[in-house]
Chain A
Amino acid sequence: MTRRRSDNSWHLVLLPAATLTVFFVIPFTIMLAVSFFQRIEGGFFEPAFVLSNYVRFLTPFFGKILATSVGLSATAATIVVAVAFPFAYVLSRMPRRRQTTILVFILSVLSLSEVIVGFAWSTLLSRTAGIGNLFHWVGIAESPRAYTPGLASLLLGLAYLAFPYAVLVIYPAVSRLDPELPEAARTSGASPLRAFTSVTLPIMRRTIAGALILVFVFTLGAYLLPQVLGRPRHWTLPVHITDQAIFQSNIPFAAAMAMFLLLVSLALVGLVLVVDSRRRGDQS
């Protein structure tokens, strides 16, 4: 029986392998190749092997854009996880029915497209129709003002989009957490806050790292929200990639920038994993 199973088992790999090849490996290889191609002024591009696309990227201008992108995503990831973790924790301790209702509501946010979310926030934060009017009416603000475009409104939009994903990653882990663990900390003399920081958080460290990575990578690809909710100086690398690819018709340069973005995000994710495994090594 075991022999027959092992003889046939390679068939099982075929479908995922084919899917991966057709949808990821081939497009990625094409993009990698194109990033070395030569652009023709006023035309498209021709096959070649030039490094000029990468060299052009290595300028302070694009360096600053890269830093903006990474900084924005890292900030958004921190904010989202900082809110989503306590949220999921409290959620997992609610009665079952209420948990389901709230989860369904949160998941429904996923059905909204980035465009709708972007323009909805842009309207909501505007001077003419936004919450500024509400603040003015209540008496908090002197006069209604616009809260967009700006860094805060951009972060708000990104956080709003990524929040359900973070909850989806964190919720299963915290609902599996043995409620007796924090209680054991409390009967050992730890205040509720101390129990949370010394027991719950360390046990959930991997989950938190996972959620941070997910939100970071997710928001790193944002190209619409920075244009709708941010100022030009908040424009991220994907915005410029879109600009190069669509408006400047410079596909090779866009491909090179995309490769760069990919490498940077891979490097950062790798860094988080290395740090995490090293800390695990210290403890055991």
Chain B
Amino acid sequence: MAVDDVNLEIPAGKLVCLLGPSGCGKTTLLRLIAGLEQATTGQIIVGGKDQAGLPAHRRDLGMVFQSLALFPHLNVAKNIAYPLQIRGVDHAACASRVDELLQLVRMPDAGDRRIHQLSGGQRQRVAIARALAINPALFLLDEPLSALDAKLREHMQVELRLLQKTLGITTIVVTHDQREAMTMADLVVVMDRGRVLQAAPPIEIYRSPANSFVAGFIGTSNLVRCRRTGVDEIEVLGRNYPAPPNSTRSTAGGRDAVLSVRPEDVALHTDPSDGELQGVVEFIRDLGSSVEFHVSAGGITLLSVAPPRGRPNVSIGQDVGITLHIARAALTDP
């Protein structure tokens, strides 16, 4: 089963990202909403109207496909006008709407150009303009930026988000890129194996992931096995800590759990006796804008990130002290 027991409410006018690894069912869910696939059970309701039995072409939506699916036999203007012409919009109204859309995607003079003459970013904009042509109630995008190179992708994420905010259109974006989801979404829906693991605003997902899969998928995280020793206490790497506030989901005393600590919440000290834990620096990755330390402690490797100015003065092979900012960590099910 590709999608199983998904219960989602998508707020009007917001941008929702369906996020997950490939094969998690996010594209299937989007295609169900578009009417390109039929669900065996369940309901899809858009604006109070049950979509069951409505074929894709009767649904009030615009969709951008992974391959963009621009029609190679039509020029830019005719591609954008296609949804209007199909619906029988007259020629003059069609032409003015196409001009408006070309302005919107900042390609005002490109109407006469052929699809194969466009760059990747321009094709992207044309696909977006075509999907928005009829002012649909729902704007669907299936991995829309995956064909672009990293730099252009980051740029288009911002542009797409700004466009969506201007128009206030309810939007669903499928992506496997957590940065993309964090950049664009009002609501991130993390999926795996056809199920929704967590649906929450990006920063909430980052700060309190529902389980270790979400914690590992969103950003980088140190996932440390731990044990709940009391109601408000956990044991991490042989040392007792107060249970973090983000631990409501986890199980009661005496059971194994996973502590998710973000790399920025792992602090290093040059004097080993300064921290609660001791470790050895194994590797340093200096990225310029930040510095990453791989520290082995208690049989595992912890990742610590520091800004270049706050960089602890340590080198590879050195014994260091480690502080875990438990209060900002999240305790999840294993």
Contacts and interface: CB of A to CB of B under 8 A. Distances in A.
Interface of A: 178, 180-181, 183-192, 194-195, 198-199, 202-203, 205, 283-284
A259 to B, nearest CB: 38
Given A194-B86, A203-B72, A187 B56 contact: yes
B65 A186 contact: no
B71 interface: yes
Contacts of A178: 67, 69
A283 B71 CA distance: 13
Given A180-B66, A180-B67, A185 B75 contact: no
Contacts of A186: 36, 55-57
A248 B26 CA distance: 75
A50 to B, nearest CB: 51
B219 to A, nearest CB: 31
Contacts of A205: 73
A187 B73 contact: no
B57 A283 contact: no
Interface SS of chain A: helix
Contacts of B86: 185, 188-190, 194, 198
Contact of B62 (A187, A195, A199, A284): A187
Nearest to B140: A187
B34 A187 contact: yes
A183 B69 contact: yes
A121 B134 CA distance: 55
Contacts of A187: 34-36, 56-57, 59, 61-63, 131, 140
Contacts of A190: 57, 86
Given A188-B130, A284-B75, 16 more contacts: A178-B67, A183-B36, A184-B65, A185-B71, A185-B86, A186-B55, A186-B57, A187-B35, A187-B36, A187-B56, A187-B57, A189-B86, A189-B134, A199-B73, A203-B71, A203-B72
Nearest to A280: B73
B114 interface: yes
Given A180-B67, A194-B86, A189 B57 contact: yes
A181 B59 CA distance: 18
Nearest to A199: B71
Residue in A186, A188, A202 with the greatest tally of chain B CB atoms within 10 Å: A188
A174 B87 CA distance: 27
A191 B86 CA distance: 9
Nearest to B130: A188
Instruction: List the 7 closest A-B pairs by CB distance, nearest first.
Output: A184-B69, A188-B83, A180-B69, A187-B63, A180-B65, A186-B56, A189-B86
Contacts of A199: 71, 73
Contacts of A188: 57, 62, 82-83, 86, 130, 133
Nearest to A182: B69
Nearest to A201: B73
6 contacts: A188-B86, A192-B55, A198-B86, A202-B73, A203-B73, A205-B73
Contacts of B36: 183, 186-187
A109 to B, nearest CB: 33
A192 B58 CA distance: 11
Nearest to B61: A187
A183 B65 contact: yes
Contacts of B83: 188-189
A170 to B, nearest CB: 17
Contacts of B71: 181, 184-185, 199, 203
A205 B87 CA distance: 24
B124 to A, nearest CB: 14
Interface in B43-87: 55-57, 59, 61-63, 65-67, 69-75, 82-83, 86-87
A195 B86 CA distance: 10
Contact of B73 (A189, A194, A195, A283): A283
Nearest to A189: B86
Contacts of A189: 57, 83, 86-87, 134
B4 to A, nearest CB: 24
